[in-house]
């Protein structure tokens, strides 16, 4: 008969893929008390490694973080304590800390980053991007202007005003296409492509109009760009998504009914100054199937001929872009407001009006629509960004005035099943991180996560805010 001491112990096998904290190869199973929690397990590993300065660690069983005692975890998941438990350990994440805030004159709707590791940065030839601290931040504001900032919070370039070829009302979305091009869209119903020139020896940085794209009949609230195919996707309150070309030669003429009212039917260019004019073009195709405003649209990460769109009509649609045809529709219980793909997990995360994030399997072979729900926000989730260093992590921006960091392996059990819980909540520095359930005055409108810069968010407090952590969502499989 087993003794009481044996009944309160379990045999564990410790493993890791992070070579700098790996145990000696011949380390076998270890018998530990079932009341061990993360701190005790971390102390055990650090003792075996002989670390003078302990390294904080997190532990996973079957790909899920252990947030309780081993006994509670085994009981909740129906795992027998008589078997050897394989515990994977990784370096614990360091919470994101505030680095800087860039103040604007009006609400900041959208933000993007140009760095050595960003998608746009890898497409350019800017030598300064190789230097730490030389990254650029792009912001879009309700004052109708784009701004490019350096990491010292200085404005390097501003887009022209409406009188000089800029947006004529609030900008809702912006993206770096490459190190020399920018896309934007707004409540003036246009999508615009801009030439961006960084600092050179003989001229200051500049943002200059390149192409104006017309066709939408309401505010254009979200964009996706794919530079290799020269395609832009737009999501609009007119219930449609648009497909556009970044190249003048590929794009058809702009629909005359959508051109600014002060133009005659024969005018194809809008005069900006004494020697500058902007080409006006129309869409390559429309993606029409939603019955309510389209809130977000993204390219499939592994196939740019496939797109996903989210709508207030509660659906996620999959599109075949060459034929502009919806090939699949996933219906949910709430309005969908934002999208980001988790490619390795074959999931799409959708922020909802119901304050949570729904993880959806968009594949036609999927037997269930919702793979998991992430709960924690207290208002609508309007922006999402994937962790550039992890398979499992993402960040969200909400109208509750916070950004949250999630790892899909961090879960808890509720009556409805397994739900995800956030690892960290990031408040707005403009109010000292104060929590506001409704988010009055501090709503977050946009978020991006860059490997070099960190988590960059934009909000109602008229600020771009930068936070940076360490080891967040660190891949255990790499």
Percent of the chain at pLDDT exceeding 90: 72
What integer pLDDT is reported at residue 63 of this predicted model? 85
Q: CA-CA distance, 132 to 137, in Å (whole number)?
A: 14
265-320 pLDDT per residue, tens: 334 445 554 345 789 999 999 999 999 999 999 999 999 999 999 999 999 999 99
- pLDDT category, 327, cuts 50, 70, 90? very high
Which stretches does DSSP call E strand in 289-342?
294-300, 303-311, 315-320, 325-331, 336-342
pTM: 0.87
What integer pLDDT is reported at residue 275 of this predicted model? 41
405-430 pLDDT per residue, tens: 999 998 887 777 779 999 999 999 99
Tokens of 253: 């003429």
Higher pLDDT, 336 or 470: 336
71-103 pLDDT per residue, tens: 998 888 888 888 999 999 999 887 899 999 999
Q: CA-CA distance, 430 to 170, in Å (whole number)?
A: 22
What integer pLDDT is reported at residue 466 of this predicted model? 97
Q: Could you tell me which of 368, 232, 392 has the C-alpha nearest to residue 297?
A: 232
Dihedral over Cα of 361, 363, 366, 368: its sign: positive
- Which H or E element spans position 171? strand 171-178
Tokens of 52: 């003078």
Q: Could you tell me which of 426, 414, 417 has the C-alpha nearest to residue 385?
A: 426
- Cβ neighbors of 381 (< 8 A, separation 6 or more) are 337, 338, 351, 352, 355, 356, 357, 396, 397, 398
Q: What average pLDDT is seen over the chain?
A: 90
Q: CA-CA distance, 150 to 453, in Å (whole number)?
A: 11
What integer pLDDT is reported at residue 93 of this predicted model? 80
What integer pLDDT is reported at residue 261 of this predicted model? 60
CB 212 within 8 Å of CB 279: yes
Dihedral over Cα of 140, 194, 342, 372: its sign: positive
Residues paired with residue 269 on neighbouring β-strands, in sequence order: 279
- pLDDT category, 468, cuts 50, 70, 90? very high
Q: Which CA distances in Å does 418 have to 38, 65, 273, 374, 376?
A: 20, 13, 60, 9, 14
Angle (nearest 5°) at CA 217 between 253 and 380: 130
């Amino acid at each position: 008969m087993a003794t009481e001491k044996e009944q309160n112990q379990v045999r564990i096998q410790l493993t890791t893929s992070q070579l700098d904290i790996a145990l000696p190869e011949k380390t076998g199973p270890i018998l530990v008390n079932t009341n061990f929690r993360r701190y005790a397990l971390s102390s055990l590993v650090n003792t075996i490694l002989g670390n003078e300065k302990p390294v904080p660690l997190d532990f996973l069983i079957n790909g899920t973080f252990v947030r309780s005692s081993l006994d509670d975890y085994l009981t909740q998941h129906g795992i027998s304590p008589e078997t050897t438990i394989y515990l994977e350990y990784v370096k614990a994440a360091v919470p994101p800390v505030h680095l800087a805030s860039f103040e604007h004159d009006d609400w900041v709707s959208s933000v993007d980053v140009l760095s050595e590791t960003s998608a746009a940065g890898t497409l350019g030839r800017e030598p300064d991007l190789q230097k730490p601290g030389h990254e650029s931040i792009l912001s879009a504001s309700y004052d109708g202007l784009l701004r490019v900032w350096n990491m010292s919070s200085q404005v390097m370039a501003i887009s022209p005003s409406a009188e000089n070829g800029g947006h004529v009302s609030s900008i809702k979305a912006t993206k770096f296409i490459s190190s020399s091009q920018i896309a934007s869209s707004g409540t003036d119903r246009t999508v615009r492509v801009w030439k961006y020139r960084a600092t050179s020896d003989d001229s200051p940085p500049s943002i200059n109009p390149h192409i104006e794209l017309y066709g939408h009949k309401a505010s254009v609230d979200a964009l996706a760009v794919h530079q290799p195919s020269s395609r832009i996707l737009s999501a609009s309150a007119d219930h449609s998504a648009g497909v556009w070309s970044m190249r003048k030669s590929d794009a058809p003429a702009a629909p005359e009914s959508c051109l600014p009212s002060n133009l005659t039917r024969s005018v194809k260019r809008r005069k900006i100054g004494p020697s500058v004019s902007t080409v006006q073009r129309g869409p390559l195709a429309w993606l029409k199937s939603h019955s309510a405003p389209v809130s977000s649209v993204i390219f499939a990460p592994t196939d740019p001929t496939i797109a996903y769109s989210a709508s207030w009509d509660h659906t996620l649609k999959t599109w075949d872009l060459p034929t502009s045809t919806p090939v699949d529709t996933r219906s949910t219980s709430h309005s969908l407001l934002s999208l980001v793909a988790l490619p390795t997990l074959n999931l799409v995360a959708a922020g909802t009006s119901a304050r949570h994030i729904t993880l959806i399997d968009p594949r036609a072979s999927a037997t269930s629509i919702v793979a998991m729900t992430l709960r924690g926000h207290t208002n609508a989730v309007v922006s999402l960004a994937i962790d550039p260093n992890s398979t499992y992590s993402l960040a969200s921006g909400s109208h509750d005035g916070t950004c949250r960091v999630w790892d899909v392996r961090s879960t808890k059990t509720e009556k409805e099943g397994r739900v995800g819980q956030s690892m960290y909540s990031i408040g707005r520095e403009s109010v000292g991180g104060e929590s506001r359930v409704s988010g009055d005055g501090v709503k977050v409108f946009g978020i991006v996560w860059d490997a070099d810069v960190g988590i960059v968010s934009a909000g109602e407090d008229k600020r771009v805010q930068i936070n940076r952590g360490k080891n967040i969502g660190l891949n255990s499989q790499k």
